[in-house]
Chains A and B, each alone.
Chain A
Amino acid sequence: MIWKRQIPILIVGVIGFVTLFANFTTLHGFKSFVNDDATQWFDILASFAIWLGGLNLLKLQSQKILKKQEGWEYSVFAVIGLIFALVAGFVIKGEPAVEWGTHVTAKGTLFKWMFTYMVAPMQATMFALLAFYVASASYRAFRIRNFEATLLLVSGIIIMIGRVPLGSNISSWFCMYLLVLIAGVTVNSIFKNKQYTAISVASGLILVTVSGFIMGWPLDQPGIFYLPYLQEWIYKFPNVAGARSIMIGIGLGIFSTSVRYILGIEKSYIGE
C-alpha cells in the first residue's frame, strides 16, 4: 500500500516543492535540476511510453480488422500507416548519403517524403475544416436570442468590418444614419406608434445632417462612430478586461491546484 499511496504523494510533494522554491534561490543545483534534469527525465519516460502507445494502437486496430468490426477498413490504413512510418524511420532511409537521425528532416529521404506528401497535406486538410466549423459556430453564436447574443453580434460585426480595408472607407456619418434608423425601429417596437417613429427618425436625420454640414463631413469624425477606431477600442478595452479577469482566475486555479498537490491535500490522482 505504501508504494501506491504514500510514496507517490511524497514524490509529488518533494518535486513540487523543489520546483517552486528553485525560483527563489540562487543555489545552482536546484535550478539545473528543474530546468535540465527533471525535463530530461520526463523526455526519457515519454520516449519509453510512446512504445506503449504504439503497441496499444496496433493491438486495437488489429483486433478491429480480425473481428471485422464496423469501419475495419479504416483500421487497415491505420496499421499500414504505422508500419510504413516505422520502416521509414528505422529501416529504409531512401538516401544513403544522409546520416541516421538527420534523415527525419533531410531532403530526399523516405521519412521526409512521407511527412511532406502525406502527413502535412492531411493535417492541412483537417486544419482547413476549421473554416467551415468557425462559420457554423459563428452562426449559432450570433443568432439573436437575448441581449447578450445581440451584443455579441454587434461587436462581432464591428470588429470584422473594422479590421478590413472596407471598414476604413465607411464614413462615421453613414454609421450615424444607420444608428438613427435602428433607433427608429426600436422606438416603433416599443411604442408601436407611427407618429413617434416618424418624429424620432426625422429629428435624428436632421440632427446628423446639420452636424455633418457644420463639421464638414470628415470620414473619421466623430471617432466613436468610425469603425476602425471603434473596433480598436472594443479590442483593447472591454475585450482585454474580460480576458485578464479570466487569466487571473486561471492563474489562481493553477496555483491552488499546484499547492493542493504539493501539500498532499489533493490525492485524486492516486484514486483516493
Chain B
Amino acid sequence: MNDREFIVGSIVLTVAFLLYWFMGHPHFVEERILQFSLVIIFSGTLIFFTRKAKRGEEIFLRNIPGLKAVEEAVGRSTEMGKPVLFVPGIQDMDQVETVAGVIVLGHVSKMTARYETPLNVPVSRAIVMKAAREACKESYLIEGHPDMFHDDMVHYVTDEQFAYAAGVNGIMVREKPAACIYMGKFYAESLILAETGNSIGAIQIAGTASQAQIPFFVTACDYTLIGEEFFAASAYLSEKPELIGGVKGQDMIKMGIVIFILFGVILRLMFDAGFLNFNIIQFLSQK
C-alpha cells in the first residue's frame, strides 16, 4: 500500500460521505447502503490495482488457453488461406456482452490485418454493425493496412434469431472459414452455430456470459471463455498494464467474496445452532 494519492483520495471521499450520511443523507435510498458500499469498495479495489499496474509493478495473471488460441486460430486461417469468421452474438449494444465482443473483435481484426487474412463479421443488429465496423477500421488503420479494410467485411444479416443462425450457417458451409470465433450474447442458436462450425473442421473459440449456452460451447468448440474470462479477454489481448491491473483487482475481489462466503456460512451455522442472534441471510436480502 504505497499509493499515497489513492489512500488520501479514499480517506477524503470516505469522510465526505460520512459527513453527508450524518447530515441526514438527503435523496439517498437508505436501504441500499450495503449495495452502495460494495460498489464503492469493489471500484476502489479495481482502481487500486489499475494504478499499481500503471506504475509498472509486476502483475501475475494466470494463463487462459482460449485467449492464447485466438492468435493461433488467426495464424491457422492465414496458413490455409481461408477467412476468419467472427460472430458478435445476437444482441444489441445495450448488452455489456456485445460491447465486450466488439472489443475482442477489435483485437482479432488487428491480428487479421497483421497477417493479411480475410475477416468476415456477420451481425444481427444494425448498431452493432456500425460499432464493429468502426472497431475493425481503427484496427486496420493502426496496423498500417487501411487499404485492406472494406465496409462489407462487417455486414448485416437479420435481426431474427434463427434467420441469423441460418444465414451464418450458410456462410460457414459456403466459405468454410478456418477459424470461427463466437464472442457475445447468445441464446439457442449457439449450438446450431458451433456444431456447424465443428462440422466444417474450423478451429472454434467461444466466449459468452450466457450461462445456459456455456455447456453447448464447451461441447462443440475447441476453447471456451467462461464468464469472467470473456470480460477479461480485452485486457489479456491488449496487454495494457492498466487493463491487466483491473483483471487482477477482479481476482482479488473474487478472493474476498470466497472468504466472505465462508464467513457467512459459519455465521449462518452459528445462527442455526442458536449461538448467535444475527441472521446474515436476512441482513443480505434486505433491499
Binding site for B on A (CB under 8 A): 20, 23-27, 42, 45-46, 49-54, 56-57, 59-60, 70-71, 74, 119, 122-123, 126-127, 129-130, 133-134, 136-138, 140-141, 243, 246-250, 252-261, 263, 265-266, 268-271
> What CA separation (Å) do A57 and B125 show in the bound complex?
12
Asked if residues A123 and B163 are in contact (CB atoms below 8 Å), the reply is yes
Evaluate contact between A23 and B35: CB separation under 8 angstroms.
yes
Can you sample 14 A-B contacts with CB below 8 Å?
Answer: A52-B129, A54-B156, A56-B129, A122-B162, A123-B161, A140-B220, A248-B254, A249-B228, A254-B96, A265-B50, A266-B243, A271-B106, A271-B134, A271-B135
Interface segment, B74-82, B187-195, B271-279?
Answer: B187-195
CA distance A23 to B129 in the complex (A): 31
Does B144 sit within 8 A of A, measured CB to CB? no
Q: Which of B28, B126, B209, B220 has the most CB of A within 10 A?
A: B126
Whether B227 pairs with A49 at a CB distance below 8 angstroms is: no
In the bound complex, residues from chain A placing their C-beta under 8 Å from that of B268 are none
The proximity string for B residues 134-164 relative to A, scoring 1 for CB distances below 8 Å and 0 otherwise, is: 1101110110000000001001111111110
Looking at chain A's contact residues, the main secondary structure is: helix
| B214 part of interface (Cβ distance < 8 Å) | yes
Rounded to whole angstroms, the CA-CA distance of A255 and B43 in the bound complex is 9
Q: Is the CB of B32 within 8 A of A70?
A: no
Q: A49-B130, A265-B246 are in contact. Are A137 and B216 (CB under 8 A)?
A: yes
- Chain A nearest Cβ from B216, distance in angstroms: 6
What are the residues of chain B within 8 A of A270 when measuring CB–CB?
134, 138
Of chain B, the residue at the smallest CB distance from A125 is B162
Q: Assess whether B103 is in contact with A247, with CB atoms less than 8 Å apart.
A: no
Least Cβ distance of A50 to chain B in Å? 5
Task: Known contacts A137-B220, A256-B246; decide if A249 and B160 are in contact (CB<8 Å).
Answer: no
**Closest 6 A/B residue pairs (Cβ):** A271-B138, A253-B231, A53-B126, A253-B228, A126-B162, A53-B156
B87 contacts the other chain (Cβ, under 8 Å)?
no
Which residue of B156, B195, B247 contacts A133 across the interface (Cβ within 8 Å)?
Answer: B195
Count, A-B residue pairs, CB within 8 A: 185
Residue pair B243, A260 in contact (C-beta under 8 Å): yes
Please, which residues of chain A bring their CB within 8 A of the CB of B234?
266, 268
Interface residues of B in 229-246 (CB under 8 A from A): 229-232, 234, 238, 242-243, 246
Specify which chain B residues have a CB less than 8 angstroms from the CB of A51 in the assembled complex. 126
- A24 near B32 with CB under 8 A, answer yes
Set of chain A residues within 8 Å of B134, measured between Cβ atoms: 270-271
Cα(A128)–Cα(B230), bound, Å:
29
Q: How many angstroms between the C-alpha atoms of A243 and B126 in the bound complex?
A: 33
Known contacts A60-B152, A126-B165; 5 additional CB pairs below 8 A are A23-B35, A130-B188, A133-B191, A269-B99, A269-B103
A30 nearest CB neighbor, chain B only: B27
Out of A27, A52, A246, A256, which one reaches B231, CB within 8 Å?
Answer: A256
Q: Quick one: given A249-B226, A249-B254, are A60 and B155 in contact (CB under 8 Å)? A: yes
**Chain B residue with the shortest CB-CB distance to A270:** B138
The answer to the question of B264 belonging to the interface, with a C-beta cut-off of 8 Å to chain A, is: no
Q: Which residues of B contact A254 (CB under 8 A)?
A: 96, 209, 231
The docked-state distance in angstroms from the alpha carbon of A123 to that of B238 is: 39
- Minimum CB–CB distance from B64 to chain A (whole Å) comes to 13
Interface residue from A50, A134, A259, A268 paired with B43 (Cβ < 8 Å): A259
Determine whether the beta carbon of A257 is less than 8 Å from that of B130: no
- Within the complex, what minimum Cβ distance (angstroms) separates B185 from chain A? 11
Q: How far is the CB of B146 from chain A (nearest CB, A)?
A: 12
Q: Which residue on B lies nearest to A137, using beta carbons?
A: B219
B100 at the A interface (CB under 8 A)? yes
Chain B residue with minimal CB distance to A126? B162
Other-chain contact of B211, A24, A26, A123, A247 (Cβ < 8 Å) = A247
